[in-house]
Each structure stands twice: as structure tokens, then as C-alpha cells.
Structure 1
Amino acid sequence: MNLSKEEQRMRFLKRIDVPERNWKFSAADVRERAHWDEYQLAFSHMLTATSTKWAPWYVIPADRKWRARLCAAAVLAHTLTGLDPQYPKMSAPARREPAKARNELEEEAHSGRG
């Protein structure tokens, strides 16, 4: 999720101005804004160096929460659609195990042990 510097400033002000949001505020966050450009460069280098075809990074604009959630949902839906998950295939001996267990459980009920 990527906030613009202006949106971050506005959210910090809201945290200061609205008593119910004061707990979210940290003066350290405001001091760190002095390094905004350095952080953006570091993020860019990190994303470039670590994003791969099989494990990509997605930068989602987050100035508007509803739009960020929509973008994140779209990325998840696209990724899950491409996975094509399948149930695991069981070997013949493994397929016999549930039937054996069923018989044992049913015998337990009939014998009064259950």
C-alpha cells in the first residue's frame, strides 16, 4: 500500500485533531517524513531487486481506502484464478485408509465401545 506524502500529512493531522485517533499518532513518524525521498528510493530499489515473475510485488495506491481495497482484491482474484488449485491425488493404498477407518468407527458403535 502506497500513500502519497500529502495524504500521509492529512492523516497525521487527523490523528492529532480527533481525540479517538490520538493513539495512532507518533511524533517519530512526523520526524521520519524528512527522509521521504530516501525512503521512496529505497523502496524502489527493493522492489526492483526482489520482484520476480513467480513472486511479484504490487504497488497499490492507498490514498483512497476504498480504491486500495478494490485494487488489492483484484490482485488476489487474478492470482487465485491463475493458481488452478486441485485436490491432492491419493495413492491406492491411501484411498483404502478411510474405508478401513469407517469400518473401525462403525464397529465401535455396534460394540458399545463408543
Structure 2
Amino acid sequence: MQNVAYRGRDALKSIIEGKEPKALQTDGYNVYMYLDNEMIDIEHICCLAHARTKFLYALEQSGDLNTKYLLECIAELYALEETYLRSGLTSDEITKARQSLKTKEIIRKVT
């Protein structure tokens, strides 16, 4: 099992070698934690879709209302994203919209 993680680290190193990324969005695979701990100074951002899946699994297992609330907040963010796409916004406009007060309000509800 260690060899798989080691190969994963080598692949990751080769992809970012010579680059200076400020952030990396991942699915939570443990090889990426290597970046945080040993490799480079980088902001590690987890993928919301993968986080949502983990919360969904937790809700199915426990029925916890806090988990349900988090999933509802994620659904609100997804709905905003769908609105941006249906409105035909450019990628720059979507980036700006993602920084809106509405998005920040949703995020504040879970922090």
C-alpha cells in the first residue's frame, strides 16, 4: 500500500514541478496532504462536490440534522452556480458573482 502513495507523490511532484501554485483543489486523497506537510507552501482547498458526498453519507448513516442543514447550504451554493450558468455569464463574471454577498451569507451560515 505504501508504494501506491509513494507513486502518487511522485506523480504529483512531476505535475507541479517548476510551478508555484498558490492553491490546489483536491478530492481529499491522502497524497495531497503531502503538499501541506512536506512539499510546498500551498493553500489546500477541498472539492465541495466530494465534501458534499461525505456529508450525504453521514446523513444517511446518522440522520443528524446538522448534516442535513449543511447539505441544504451546499444546495443553495449549487443553485447559485446553476443560475450563473443559465444566465450566460462569462467565466470572469461567474468568478465575480461567486464573491457576492449572497454567497458570503450562505457560507457564514455554516461557519
Same fold (TM over 0.5): no
Normalised-by-shorter TM-score class: under 0.3
Q: Which structure has more strand as a fraction of its residues?
A: 2
TM-score normalised to structure 2 length = 0.25
Q: Which has the larger radius of gyration?
A: 1
TM-score between both structures, scaled by the size of structure 1: 0.25
